[in-house]
């Protein structure tokens, strides 16, 4: 594997898939994408693709081979999202092999793309209800995980966005803060092929994810408590991580998650994934009557369609608003309609209703 990554070539016509794939990844793809993306591609190669195709000459892999491999992944219980993701990586490798003359036809081109369901698009568990979210906010108060939870519940931040905050991102004079970066745990590979998990700082997920949000009094209160509990002055400097270890390094996502889960279990509150807290915030915003355009922008979605297709079905408020607004619009005078209905039922109205009362 190390030789392949360093560019060692097999004799003409006998190039193995794994050697070409790793050269493509590090020589061609890595300079074009973020480091976390490179690690993700390597993970997909090592986990799903190389065990099947790695030792085979790349020119001998055909469409039937790829179709059978995709079917095996499906039968093993892999989600359509995962299957399509690894198919995409294999397709990219094969396109590069085609353009470099290693193969005469891309064997992935005519293989099936598995239909994406709502579960594949976003694995939304049941978000917290309003009452559950209020219980959570009460439970985390004065705990080490209070600010992290408050930011997720109030703003729907991604876990990577919350952990990526530095004190310089907060502007208390204007009462705002800005999402500028993200923190992720990724699988990296040593030269011998062994894996390890590291924390990587990177850009936000998309350009739309870089956004400025207004701080509410409850959030400012949590920020001040969190800051007061930091002992070392250096860890309160602008360049310091908001969620840092005592050594000044950023907190690992897994550590913060475990801290929150302990609080939830101690208060007998239904546990959901960290990312489901983001879903909770978005659904609560829609239910509160916030225009969906504002929800989309605040959540950092690239397209309004994302907000509509994923979250709108979880809010009855939108459907209720639709029904009520149409009914009111179609009614020339809702008050007159109500009076007419009462008269039809033989109701006796007060004198003010018809100027002199209704005679019996």
- pLDDT at residue 296 is higher than 50: yes
In whole angstroms, what separates CA 315 from the centre of its chain? 19
In the chain, the percentage of residues whose pLDDT exceeds 70 is 79
Answer whether 293's CB lies under 8 Å from 301's CB. Answer: no
- Between 191 and 105, where is the model more confident? 105
Distance CA 179, CA 7 (A): 39
Calpha distance 14→56 (Å, rounded): 9
Ranking 9-23, 34-48, 116-130, 275-289 by mean pLDDT, the lowest is: 116-130
What integer pLDDT is reported at residue 317 of this predicted model?
Answer: 66
168-183 burial, b at 16+ Cβ within 10 Å, e below that, comes to ebbeeeeeebebbbbb
d(CA 207, CA 221): 29
For each of the domains in the chain, give its residue range(s) and CATH number, in order of start. Answer: 2-121 (1.10.150.130), 130-318 (1.10.443.10)
pLDDT of residue 339: 58
pLDDT at 288: 86
pTM of the model: 0.65
Nearest to 89 by CA among 33, 118, 117, 49: 49
153-198 pLDDT per residue, tens: 999 999 999 999 999 999 999 999 999 999 888 777 777 767 778 8
Give pLDDT, residue 201. Answer: 85
Residue 5 pLDDT > 80: no
Residue whose tokens read 């952990």: 163
Nearest CA to 134 out of 152, 162, 153 is that of 153
Q: What is the mean pLDDT of residues 6-14?
A: 48
Question: Rounded to whole angstroms, what are the CA distances from 253 to 163, 200, 318?
Answer: 7, 11, 34
CB 73 within 8 A of CB 31: no
Judging by beta carbons within 10 Å of its beta carbon (0-12, 13-18, 19+), is residue 107 exposed, middle or buried?
buried
DSSP annotation string for 171-209: ETTTTEEE---EEEEEEEE-TTS-EEEEEEEE--SSGGG
The pair phi, psi for residue 31, each rounded to 5°, is -65, -15
Mean pLDDT value of segment 130-154 = 96
Residue positions counted in the chain? 360
Count CB neighbours of 197 within 10 A.
Answer: 12
111-130 pLDDT tens trace: 999 886 554 445 556 889 99
User: What pLDDT was estimated at residue 239?
Assistant: 93
Token readout for 229 is: 């509990």
Name the residue with higher pLDDT: 294 or 92: 92
Q: What is the mean pLDDT of the chain?
A: 84
Q: Residue 167: what pLDDT?
A: 97
Q: Give yes or no for residue 17 having a pLDDT over 60.
A: yes
79 to each of 49, 83, 89, 112, 334, how far by Cα in Å? Answer: 16, 6, 16, 14, 51
Give the mean model confidence (pLDDT) for residues 310-316.
64
How sure is the predictor about 94, in pLDDT bands with cuts at 50, 70 and 90? very high
pLDDT score, position 124:
55
Picking from 175, 244, 159, the residue whose alpha carbon sits closest to that of residue 209 is 159
pLDDT: which is higher, 171 or 329: 171
pLDDT tens digits, 215-229: 999 999 999 999 999
CB 129 within 8 A of CB 286: no
pLDDT of residue 299: 86
Percent of the chain with pLDDT over 90: 54
Beta bridge pairs of residue 264: none
Question: pLDDT by residue (tens digit) across 247-271?
Answer: 999 999 989 999 999 999 999 999 9
CA–CA gap between residue 25 and residue 33 (Å, rounded): 10
Q: How far apart are CA 225 and CA 6, in angstroms?
A: 51
Instruction: Classify residue 264 as left (phi > 0), alpha (psi -120 to 50) or beta.
Output: alpha
Give the closest residue to 94 by CA, choosing from 42, 20, 41: 20
Tell me how far CA of residue 26 lies from CA of 21, 87, 190, 246, in angstroms. 9, 19, 14, 35
- 3-class DSSP assignment, residue 16: strand
What pLDDT, on the 0 to 100 scale, is given for residue 353?
Answer: 47
Q: CB neighbours (10 Å) of residue 86?
A: 20
Query: Cβ of 25: how many Cβ atoms within 10 Å?
Result: 21
């Amino acid at each position: 594997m190390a030789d392949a990554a360093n560019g060692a070539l097999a004799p003409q016509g006998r190039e193995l898939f794994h050697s070409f794939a790793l050269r493509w990844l590090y020589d061609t793809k890595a300079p074009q994408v973020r480091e976390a993306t490179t690690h993700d591609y390597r993970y997909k190669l090592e986990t799903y693709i190389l065990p099947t195709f790695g030792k085979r000459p790349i020119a001998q892999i055909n469409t039937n081979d790829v179709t059978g491999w995709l079917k095996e992944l499906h039968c093993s219980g892999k989600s359509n999202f995962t299957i399509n993701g690894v198919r995409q990586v294999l397709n990219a490798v094969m396109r590069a092999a085609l353009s470099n003359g290693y193969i005469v036809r891309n064997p992935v081109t005519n293989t099936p793309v598995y239909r994406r369901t709502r579960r594949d698009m976003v694995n939304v568990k049941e978000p917290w209800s309003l009452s559950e979210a209020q219980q959570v906010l009460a439970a985390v108060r004065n705990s080490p995980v209070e600010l992290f939870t408050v930011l997720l519940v109030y703003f729907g931040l991604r876990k990577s966005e919350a952990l990526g905050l530095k004190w310089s991102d907060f502007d208390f004079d204007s009462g705002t803060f800005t999402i500028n970066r993200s923190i992720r745990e990724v699988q990296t590979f040593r030269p011998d092929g062994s894996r390890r998990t590291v924390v990587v700082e990177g850009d936000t997920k998309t350009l739309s994810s870089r956004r400025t949000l207004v701080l509410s009094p409850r959030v400012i209160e949590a920020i001040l408590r969190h800051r007061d509990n930091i002992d070392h002055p250096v860890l309160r400097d602008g360049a310091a991580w908001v969620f840092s270890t005592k050594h000044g390094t950023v907190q690992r996502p897994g550590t913060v998650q475990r801290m929150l889960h302990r609080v939830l279990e101690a208060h007998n509150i239904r546990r959901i994934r960290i990312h489901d807290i983001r879903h909770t915030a978005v659904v609560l915003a829609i239910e509160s009557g916030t225009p969906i355009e504002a929800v989309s922008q605040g959540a950092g979605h690239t397209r309004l369609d994302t907000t509509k297709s994923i979250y709108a079905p979880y809010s009855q408020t939108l459907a209720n608003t639709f029904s009520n607004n149409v009914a009111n619009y179609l009614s020339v005078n809702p008050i007159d309609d109500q009076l007419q209905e009462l008269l039809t039922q033989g109701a006796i109205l007060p004198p003010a209703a018809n100027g002199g009362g209704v005679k019996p």
